[in-house]
Structure 1
Amino acid sequence: SIQVSAERHIQRSKSFCNHTEIEKLLDKELIGDFTKSFALSTVEGKHQDLKYITPDMMVSALSGQLHHVVERIVVIDCRYPYEFEGGHIKGALNLYQEEQVEEYLLRTPITPLSPDHRVLLVFHCEFSSERGPGMCRFVRRRDRAMNEYPNLHYPELYVLKGGYQEFFRHFGMQCEPQGYRPMHHQDFKEDLRKFRLKSSTWAGEHSKRDQYSRLKKL
């Protein structure tokens, strides 16, 4: 009958319509749980799937200009410790390993005290080219896995465009200490090797665990 045919078509449509497709259908300017618009003004960046803010927007947000909607901004500096120690944005957290981020943000999620206010996460590294964006994606991926779709602990994630280099160039007074130590600093070659190895080891172990859990589900 026509009704049976229609029901089959609906079932077939449902099976093809995964989360990614749903997200494409929804307004791109809504935050991750699709409940509201972004609190901060965003700009185009290197990675099309992420939301970028300028250093100016970051300073405005950190100075409390959006206190009527934003309860807390957590700045996650994904650079290696020797870079962070050479100068960082005041109040930033130095979390450069997925394990650290998972422990700090996802083991006990940071929730706003008021339902009308928001907790925003801003990720960055030296240039916000790879490490910051990668950690931002990691948090969203783990957050999605922990919650029933489309709910999220952190629906609003941003990447600081230009990273610490750009921020320091314009707002050095907002940094402590007021310095900038690049990742490829001559005096820290051994530290770079050590931290890169540590990060890749954790990432490798993590992917092995993911593969194992997927195999168990087959």
Structure 2
Amino acid sequence: TFCNHTEIEKLLDTSESDQDRELIGDFTKPCVLSTVEGKHQDLKYITPEMMVSALSGQLHHVVERIVVIDCRYPYEFEGGHIKGALNLYQEEQVEEYLLRTPIAPLSPDHRVLLVFHCEFSSERGPRMCRFVRERDRTMNEYPNLHYPEIYILKGGYKEFFPHFRMQCEPQGYRPMHHQDFKEDLRKFRLKSRTWAGERSKRGLYSRLKKL
């Protein structure tokens, strides 16, 4: 069910709650999206409703672009994903897309937001979100960041799909542990693990664990 206009206005009304909002990663301003409690205390979570409100263009006066990063494996993504989402499930893909040439807003008054998710947003999405923040910190003089405003979609695609099917393409949901894709799961897990193992030799993973 879509939020009605009043609910959207309520979700996006920043005037009364600016003082209460958490600051973005470079501490220059409050988060533009309302956040909720989530599994990982160090990450900022938004609800599926908040995500849809933001994607509907209601924030165009302050948000230039919202990049949705779906960290699920390709067979999950192909079975149904949020319209416009990017399927980046390996750290090297995320680094290539987001950090090699960082996406900067054309206007200093506007923001670029990143929203990460996976199936449940409990492991893969949060891990990738932390990876981007860690790499971003090493590339910039503290507290400056290329992406100061990053979020996790709470509940992941599993929570999003039943309520906002019309925002998904194709309109389906293929779980990670789907019977027909056991071999794919094994292959992608191995791929991710191998790559992570190579990185750990260079000390990146030990730094990530300390975040």
TM-score by length of 2: 0.87
Alpha-carbon distance between aligned partners in 2 of 1:171 and 1:37, rounded to the nearest angstrom: 27
TM-aligned CA deviation for residue 209 of structure 1 = 1.5
Change (3 A) 1:201 1:37: same
The residue that corresponds to 1:8 in the other structure is none
Residues 147 and 214 (structure 1), Cα distance of their counterparts in 2 relative to 1, 3 Å cut? same
SS of aligned partner of 1:16: coil
In the alignment, structure 1 residue 50 sits paired with structure 2 residue 50: no
Measured on the aligned residues, the alpha-carbon RMSD in Å equals: 9.1
Q: Which residue of 2 aligns with 1:119?
A: 112
- With normalisation by structure 1, the TM-score equals 0.84
In 2, the alpha carbon distance for the partners of 1:44 and 1:100 equals 29
User: How far apart are 1:127 and its partner, in Å?
Assistant: 0.3
Query: Unaligned stretches of 5+ in structure 1?
Result: 1-14
For residues 3-60 of structure 1, the C-alpha deviation after alignment (integer angstroms, 9 at most, x for no partner) is xxxxxxxxxxxx9999999999999811000000000000000101000000000000
Q: SS at the partner of 1:49?
A: coil
Deviations 1:55-93 (A, max 9, x none): 000000000011111000000000000000000000000
Where is the helix percentage greater, Structure 1 or Structure 2? 1
How many residues are treated as equivalent by the alignment?
A: 204
Distance 1:176 1:123 in 2: 17
| Deviates further, 26-35 or 125-134 | 26-35
Q: Note closer, same or farther for the CA distance 1:24–1:64 as it changes in structure 2 (3 Å cut).
A: closer
Q: Distance in 2 between matches of 1:215 and 1:191?
A: 27
Q: Which structure: larger Rg?
A: 1
Residue 79 of structure 2 contacts residue 173 of structure 2 at CA under 8 Å; is this kept in 1?
A: yes
Q: Map Cα deviations across residues 113-171 of structure 1 (whole Å, 9 max, x no partner).
A: 00000000000000000000000000000000000000000000000000001000100
Q: Residue 209 and residue 44 in structure 1: after superposition, are their counterparts in 2 closer, same or farther (change >3 A)? A: same
| Stretches (4+) displaced over 4 A | 15-28, 211-218
Structure 2 CA distance, aligned partners of 1:80 and 1:37? 33
Distance (whole Å) between structure 1 residues aligned to residue 25 and residue 198 of structure 2: 28
Q: Does 1:159 align with 2:152?
A: yes
Matched, 1:17 2:10: no
Name the CA shift for 1:16/1:201 in 2 (closer, same or farther; >3 Å).
farther
Runs of 5+ consecutive residues of structure 2 not aligned to the other structure:
13-19
Query: Aligned partners of 1:18 and 1:205: how far apart in 2?
Result: 49
Q: Kindly tell me: are residues 153 and 18 of structure 1, through their superposed partners in 2, closer, same or farther at Cα, counting changes over 3 Å? A: farther
Segment drifting more, 113-122 vs 17-26: 17-26
